[in-house]
Amino acid sequence: MKNMVSCLTKKGDFMLQGKTIVLGVTGSIAAYKIANLTSMLTKLHADVHVLMTQNATNFINPITFETLTNHKCLVDTFDRNFNYNIEHVSLGNKADLVLVAPASANIIAKMANGIADDMLSTTLLACRCKKLVAPAMNTNMYLNPIVQDNMKRLQNYGFEMVEAASGHLACGDSGIGKLPEEKLLVEHIVRSIAREKDMKGMKVLVSAGATMEAIDPVRYITNHSTGKMGFALAKAAMLRGASVTVVKGHTEAEEPHFVKMVPVKSAQQMFEAVKEEAADADIVIMAAAVADYRPSEVYDQKVKKSDAEMSIALTRTQDILKYLGENRTAKTFLCGFSMETEHVIENSRKKLEKKNLDMIVANNLKTAGAGFGTDTNVITIITKDSEQAFDLMSKAQVADCILDAICKQKNQNPFLTDAMECRLHSNSVR
């Protein structure tokens, strides 16, 4: 069966649409960064509310946040200049996530000990949603055993601590204690609430990028793969709750956060890494562009040019996908990629059968928007008994469509489903 379908995933700009985020800002010089963070979140269509401690107002004016959010910035617990309701309870009920950033040593101590003496600390006690805490303070304060104990206590209470960055601090010292960059804070928020965790408990292995086969210390054979599609798959799986490992060759794309990266160069190195990582994976997606051949001889010194013609003898590399298909377990779902320039469906279906795959994602290099290095793709998802052709989409959308198709197939695989349920149970009892 073959049909043209559209993937109904949200565009990246709408990842937080319908989500309510509460930002708690405390007395730290890093408070100015939260204005940019607020702007970034509103551009993702989040409904952002800002609460400030009184000390925080010495570093940034509440009017800044009110302008960015179109909501009153709450500071005073007993402020009467808003419509009557129990404000801290109201926000606590509707919030999807709270981020306290920058989090001073003072607010960390209050949260760890249940102190509620201002609007922010009172609201935090009333919130039942996910809570993130991003500390920012002097290095000596951050490393103080009391502060460290308070942060551990918060983790025991279910708070997620965002590790402080290291660098030059406003006080003049250098060390740990910097507030992470706003972009990273956004990534933490997106990971927490942007997507349903329908892949929680899954272990996913993705290969990405191009392999590089050395000729000599200077030259090598490679291809045009940038790793964008593989990274998009890894990020999408991570956002859906999976534990993700990426075996990456040469890449030019920005690496996704919160995934395990295993860097390699050659096809042989990728084979060894994939072989090891695939042993306990529930889903393996081979999106890397692996060299089919490598030089038979690698020279120790740079090969000097001459007036004569030169030929390089090539040797076949290990077929990683074929090996995985021949040595797979019943629980492993195996998905490959097939980039063709002609007879796309026919050649891809042959590859599916020859290499014992559950699914193959086919595309045509000559199709506009589907080549190397683009932010878009045009694919056909092929299984043993179906074909689904998709319109031009972003690679983020393509990734979700592929994962949707895998999850649909996975639910029909009792071995994979049982392994997932077992892993989820073991995680819940720890």
- Mean pLDDT for 350-365 is 95
| Separation between Cα atoms, residue 360 and residue 352, nearest integer Å | 6
Sign of CA dihedral 183, 398, 7, 357: negative
- Do strands 213-214 and 220-221 pair parallel, antiparallel, or not at all (unpaired)? antiparallel
| Separation between Cα atoms, residue 318 and residue 61, nearest integer Å | 61
Angle at which helices 119-126 and 105-113 cross, to 10°: 40
358 band by pLDDT with thresholds 50, 70 and 90: very high
Sign of CA dihedral 64, 68, 72, 74: negative
- The pTM score is 0.88
In degrees, to the nearest 5, what angle opens at C-alpha 226 toward C-alphas 221 and 227? 115
Query: pLDDT tens digits for 86-116?
Result: 555 678 788 999 999 999 999 999 999 999 9
Instruction: Provide the 8-state DSSP code for 74.
Output: B
Query: pLDDT tens digits for 226-264?
Result: 999 999 999 999 999 999 999 999 999 999 999 999 999
pLDDT tops 90 at residue 8 = no
Q: Does the structural domain 203-303+310-423 have CATH classification 3.40.50.10300?
A: yes
Write down the residue that tokens 């129990």 correspond to: 86
Mean of the per-residue pLDDT values of the chain: 90
Long-range contacts: 347-354, Cβ < 8 Å, 24+? 348/380, 348/382, 349/382, 352/382, 352/383, 352/384, 353/384, 354/322
C-alpha closest to that of 287 among 209, 358, 214? 209
Encoding tokens for residue 296?
Answer: 């038979």
Parse the chain into domains and list their residue ranges.
17-193, 203-303+310-423
Domains 17-193 and 203-303+310-423 equal at CATH topology level: yes
Query: pLDDT tens digits for 147-165?
Result: 999 999 999 999 999 999 9
C-alpha closest to that of 56 among 116, 120, 138, 144? 120
* Active-site annotation holder among 171, 335, 407, 422: 171
pLDDT of residue 279: 93
5 band by pLDDT with thresholds 50, 70 and 90: very low
| Separation between Cα atoms, residue 71 and residue 54, nearest integer Å | 18
pLDDT of residue 331: 87
Catalytic, 407? Answer no
Query: pLDDT tens digits for 256-301?
Result: 999 999 999 999 999 999 999 999 999 999 999 999 999 999 999 9
Which CATH number is associated with domain 17-193? 3.40.50.1950
- Give the chain's radius of gyration (CA, Å): 26
SS (H, E, C) 183-200: HHHHHHHHHHHCCCCCCC
Query: pLDDT tens digits for 26-71?
Result: 999 999 999 999 999 999 999 999 999 999 999 999 999 999 999 9
Cα–Cα distance list, 170 to 175, 340, 404 (Å): 11, 54, 46
| pLDDT higher at 412 or 382 | 382
Type of residue numbered 348: S
C-alpha closest to that of 101 among 214, 181, 2, 39? 181
Instruction: Provide the 8-state DSSP code for 31.
Output: G
| pLDDT higher at 148 or 7 | 148
pLDDT of residue 418: 55
Encoding tokens for residue 20?
Answer: 């309510």
pLDDT tops 50 at residue 430 = no
